[in-house]
Structure 1
């Protein structure tokens, strides 16, 4: 069941998780264009760097050269275009992080359309790690190992027309023509969305965020 909620309430919920003691990993998932990175960024920015850090799943995109070599470039973003084992291993390290240890996570550069290794430092004294991405609740490959590392998982479920609008706008912002953006959003992205939406029942909370 989808629960309407304000973003400020989610920030408060995340703050309560951070205050609970020990390392907490919050997973935010949903279909492409659901607002995952927006919500994750707002939570981390609101709580501040002493309490929260954002580690996106997108840092585990396979490089474009690998996708081209394997005939996958035109479906970039599909579940098979990610290093699921690498992502699961990183979350395991973060969950078990020792005092004084720094773990460096990868980010994703949307201008280059490439992952950037070792660009997000995660220190042991930050209680809340927010991770967001499409396939956090998938059952194939190493994804279940990643899910086991999450303290709590939130599935974002916006209205479909709004999600499509956000997605097309984002593709255009990063250089696609209006026609290409629409074709990608309603083609490859929508194929992924159907797979992801079938995972919603595995989340701890299914949410429709107001005010995004």
Structure 2
């Protein structure tokens, strides 16, 4: 792909490209439920989003798209539960600096560390800061909720949650909305399924 700064000026074009990358690099579907999820449930669908969040182009797309959602919120930090949230938060922090509104990335540990300063959060955020929690995928919303509650326990104000992919099942979005006022998803499972089905039809017709 050519490196042209003007290419990233159109947010909708970036969303389309992100959906393509998720379909090509992160999405798997089967006829029967063969994928075991973190929740223990079995599913026909699986999203390995780290293949996109750790990809150079993926980070450019995610950084700009998430920054566009938060740039006017007056937040000081962005982060979530390690490991899924880390590359997303880092991409947004990098983009925020380039676009003149620096936002600190932070990490929420899965458990409080047992040495040094026993902190659950790592990064340059402090009590009273306004933050957004991010995650790569929501199903039940469990990892996102862990991060939100850890942030609140540390005295941060969590304004909203933003996820890369909403699987649109198991009440994940609704569960998260019990803790924050808004949940945004860059991509829905329905978006990817529509692209997948269109590609299959095109293949059958050729």
Where on the TM-score scale, by shorter chain, does this alignment land: which range? Answer: 0.3 to 0.5
Give the TM-score taking structure 2 as reference length.
0.36
Tell me which of the two structures has the higher relative contact order, counting C-alpha pairs closer than 8 angstroms and 6 or more residues apart.
1
Q: Could you tell me the TM-score, scaled by structure 1's length?
A: 0.35
